[in-house]
Amino acid sequence: MRNTPTVMQKTLYAILSIVILFVSSCEKSSVTSCPYVIQGANLTDFAMDQYGVNEIQVTEEQLFINVTYGGGCENHDFKMILHDESPIDGGGQQIQILSLSHDANNDGCEALILEHELCFNISNIENDGVLYFSHPDSLYVLN
């Protein structure tokens, strides 16, 4: 006589398999892959939807920005762009400024996303002077 699994055993195996799959897919990777800063691009080529800055932190090679924005129904895309600006007085050396592009992808929902951490790899930036991050409300000195 062959020993065949019962319906109850098959159901138990299926539930156990789903739980194992769920738990293994929820593990976070210990390696964080942050996209590089985009250099040499024109800011007008990127979406500039509204967002707020909660916190900025710079490590050796990474820039972490915690932002707030409205939405909740679509994926929001963020890109960091490095561009040069001439000083306001027209003299002196150009300064390097980072700006964050936010594309809300026409998200019409009104949920307030309070804490969204972004990470960007800034190791490709060659900077001998002061590096700034520009937001419509503020200008942050990063080094």
CATH number at residue 117: 2.60.40.2370
Q: What is the pLDDT of residue 30?
A: 38
pLDDT at 118: 96
Domain hosting 111: range is 38-141
In a domain, 22, yes or no: no
**Is the residue at 29 inside a domain?**
no
Number of domains the chain is built from: 1
Assigned token pair, 125: 């930036």
Give me the mean pLDDT over the 80-86 stretch. Answer: 83
Lowest-pLDDT range, 22-26, 38-42, 91-95? Answer: 22-26
